[in-house]
């Protein structure tokens, strides 16, 4: 069977499974909708948390960024891994013991303030919408390639699927759906990684192959009998083509530190991850499920660098110097340089999705992949794929937006690297389709969790706890579902018009969470002196500064988005660390000049930090 048939089959089966689980476990009460009734076993909750956490950014875009940026891309790996450890050990058990199942609920009750709760609601919606935009973009990329539709059409299809099982099942349906999605996405990520590691390095363990010696011949990137390590080969290929060495970093150390820190503390403040610790019966179960989730996450995160290196090596070997052939497989043009290498079929397939483009600038008939941007933004093709009038002399698709002035002739969207990796390596069609199903599982699992956060913030924190305290359980559940439906539509729009690649968009969400939630939660647990005035002032200024910085460089003044114009050399992806420092500083300053919290709150904070039975044990 061809790739598209396999994709329809595997994706169809997995979608039927997800929707079937959502129907079987649909929510019948607000507690089911918000926290799955609080009765999820730790092992299942650990798998669901891992699926919730490993979004399209983890599955699709993280390896893509590492593949293109090499060492510099490792900040995402370090930040997201360290952030989950920080959340599991520092915050989750205390929040679970506090007994409030949303972040705005915790903020409102801890700081005894409706205003603080409203600020937290706005921050939760803001962070979640930014994050979910990246997930919907990932869905669009997958559907765009394998259903042979535009990315925009792919996003619309994904909206319909998420709407069905997120709105119907709530947290109860989402939790058990995410257990299935974890199994799908991990199997889909590991199968091609194991195959390619075995083919390239002779070992079935990708983590070992990442630092191993190359063997055999694959994608024209490796010569037969060549004795060289994978990373040394990549460094050599990069230097030949004018790129920085793969294993060297070009980012300023302060930017590396700030991006890593923003991703770490942003993780600890993400509302859709925190709510996971309320779906288990006891505080002890929250700790156990956190441990399981960390183990499940490690499988993918330790494999991603190897997948990135495999894909990069084979990509360069397959496309550099290749001669493009027309859709009818006509002979190459006479100006071909003579390498005897033709552009692979997968490149033409991805070209039709608009996520790869080539323009023969020098007229030699061959693809020249060099340092620098080939096009300004995403290429805009002229005419249809089969229209010969829309093709250049070398067979390439013509574009309406001409490329920039440099030697690079090839545009590649980073978000396709994991999806295209099996095709680049020549793996069976069923493996290619399996990866598509895994990418959809990763994107949809996180999108569902984020949409639930948005609906909960509106129905529970805004209506039930603030505006309409006497609302019935039935009406609250209806409001949750309606707000989730509206959120799906808004998320789809952001997915169609994202401000960057999936991982970059998600990094913005983490920066916003770092500058708003993390200080309020941390000080709310460990500082009895922190009061409502300090928390509100810190959240508003921290979030406001981070948002303004990101909007300025990523939306209003794109031409200024260069290192020499950044504050202290800190990129928009890392500015959340500065926003966090502002939040902490302002909150501490304002709290020192205002009235301390009530004695009841101080006693409550002491109680959640002391293990059960510790008081009686200390008296003996």
Across 33-58, average pLDDT: 70
What mean pLDDT is predicted for residues 267-286? 71
Per-residue confidence (pLDDT) for residue 25, from 0 to 100: 61
3-state secondary structure of 164: helix
| 194 vs 272: which has the higher pLDDT | 194
pLDDT at 139: 75
Average pLDDT estimate for 386-396 = 70
- Mean predicted confidence (pLDDT) in 430-441: 83
284-302 pLDDT, tens digit per residue, is 777 788 788 888 888 888 8
Return d(Cα 500, Cα 137) in angstroms, integer. Answer: 10
pLDDT digits (tens, 9 = 90+) for 151-192: 777 788 777 777 766 555 555 566 777 788 888 888 888 999
Query: According to the model, what pLDDT value does residue 218 have?
Result: 47
Residue 270 has pLDDT above 80, yes or no: no
Least confident of 60-64, 189-193, 256-260: 60-64
Question: CA-to-CA distance for 416 and 145, rounded, in angstroms?
Answer: 9
CA distances from 38 to 32, 45, 277, 380 (A): 8, 10, 9, 49
| pLDDT band at residue 613 under the 50/70/90 scheme | very low
pLDDT of residue 503: 55
Query: What are 65-116's pLDDT values in tens digits?
Result: 888 888 888 888 888 777 777 777 777 777 777 766 667 778 888 888 888 8
State residue 586's pLDDT score. Answer: 94
Measured distance CA(224)–CA(220) in Å, rounded: 9
- Confidence tier at 541 by pLDDT (50, 70, 90): very high
pLDDT band at 619 (very low <50, low <70, confident <90, very high): very low
- Which homologous superfamily is 3-312+428-609 in? Sodium/glucose cotransporter (1.20.1730.10)
Cα distance between residue 241 and residue 371, in whole Å = 7
Average pLDDT value for residue range 586-607 = 86
Dist CA 509 CA 57 (whole Å): 12
Beta 356-358 vs 410-412: how paired, if at all?
A: antiparallel
Indicate if the pLDDT at residue 582 is higher than 90: yes
Confidence label for 587 from pLDDT (cuts 50, 70 and 90): very high
Give start-end residues of each CATH 1.20.1730.10 domain in the chain.
Answer: 3-312+428-609
pLDDT, greater one: 289 or 519 = 519
pLDDT of residue 496: 75
pLDDT of residue 617 exceeding 50, the answer is no
Distance in angstroms (rounded) separating the CA atoms of residues 245 and 232: 9
pLDDT digits (tens, 9 = 90+) for 11-29: 888 878 777 776 776 655 5
Token digits of residue 278: 């309320």
Residue 585 pLDDT > 90: yes
């Amino acid at each position: 069977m061809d790739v598209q048939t396999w994709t329809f089959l595997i994706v169809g089966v997995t979608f039927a499974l997800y929707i079937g689980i959502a129907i079987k476990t649909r929510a019948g009460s607000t507690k089911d909708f918000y926290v799955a009734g609080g009765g999820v076993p730790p092992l299942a909750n650990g798998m669901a948390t891992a699926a919730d956490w490993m979004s399209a950014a983890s599955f699709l875009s993280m390896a893509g960024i590492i593949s293109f940026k090499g060492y510099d891309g490792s900040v995402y790996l370090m930040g997201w891994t360290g952030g989950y450890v920080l959340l599991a050990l520092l915050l989750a058990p205390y929040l679970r013991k506090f007994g409030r199942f949303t972040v705005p609920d915790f903020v409102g009750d801890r700081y005894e303030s409706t205003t603080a709760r409203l600020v937290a609601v706005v921050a939760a919606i803001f962070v979640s919408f930014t994050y979910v935009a990246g997930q919907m973009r990932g869905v669009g990329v997958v559907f765009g390639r394998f259903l042979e539709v535009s990315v925009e059409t792919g996003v619309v299809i994904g909206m319909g699927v998420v709407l069905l099982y997120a709105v119907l099942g709530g947290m109860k349906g989402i939790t058990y759906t995410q257990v299935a999605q974890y199994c799908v996405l991990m199997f889909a990520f590991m199968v091609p990684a194991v195959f390619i590691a075995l083919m390239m390095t002779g070992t079935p363990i990708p983590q070992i192959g990442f630092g191993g010696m190359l063997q055999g011949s694959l994608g024209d990137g490796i010569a037969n009998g060549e004795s060289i390590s994978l990373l040394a080969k990549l460094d050599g290929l990069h230097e030949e083509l004018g790129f920085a060495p793969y294993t060297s970093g070009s980012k300023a150390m302060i930017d590396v530190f700030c991006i890593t820190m923003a991703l770490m503390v942003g993780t600890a403040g993400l509302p859709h991850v925190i709510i996971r610790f309320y779906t288990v019966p006891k505080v002890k179960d929250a700790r156990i499920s956190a441990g399981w989730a960390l183990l499940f996450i490690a499988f993918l995160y330790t494999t991603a660098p190897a997948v990135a290196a495999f894909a990069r090596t084979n990509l360069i070997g397959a496309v550099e110097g290749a001669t493009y052939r027309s859709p009818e497989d006509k002979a190459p043009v006479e100006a071909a340089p003579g390498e005897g290498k033709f552009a692979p079929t997968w490149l033409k397939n991805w070209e039709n999705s608009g996520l790869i483009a080539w323009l023969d600038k020098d007229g030699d008939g061959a693809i020249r992949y060099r340092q620098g941007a080939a096009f300004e933004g995403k290429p805009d093709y002229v005419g249809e794929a089969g229209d010969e009038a829309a093709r250049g002399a070398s067979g390439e698709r013509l574009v309406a937006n001409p490329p920039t002035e440099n030697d690079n002739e090839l545009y590649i969207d980073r978000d396709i690297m994991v999806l295209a990796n099996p095709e680049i390596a020549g793996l069976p069609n069923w493996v290619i389709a399996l990866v598509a199903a895994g990418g959809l599982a990763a994107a949809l699992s996180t999108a569902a969790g984020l949409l639930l956060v948005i609906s909960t913030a509106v129905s529970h924190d805004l209506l039930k706890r603030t505006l309409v305290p006497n609302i019935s359980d039935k009406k609250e559940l209806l409001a949750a579902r309606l707000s989730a439906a509206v959120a799906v539509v808004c998320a789809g729009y952001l997915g169609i018009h994202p401000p960057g690649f999936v991982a970059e968009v998600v990094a913005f969400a983490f920066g916003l969470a770092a500058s708003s939630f993390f200080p309020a939660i941390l000080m709310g647990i460990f500082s009895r002196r922190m009061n409502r005035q300090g928390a509100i002032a810190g959240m508003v200024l921290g979030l406001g500064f981070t948002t303004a910085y990101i909007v300025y460089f990523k939306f209003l003044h794109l031409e200024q988005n260069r290192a020499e114009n950044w504050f202290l050399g800190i990129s928009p992806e890392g500015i959340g660390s500065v926003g966090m420092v502002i939040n902490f500083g302002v909150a501490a300053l304002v709290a020192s000049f205002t009235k301390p919290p009530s004695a009841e709150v101080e006693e409550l904070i002491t109680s959640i930090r002391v293990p059960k039975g510790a008081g009686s044990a200390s008296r003996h």
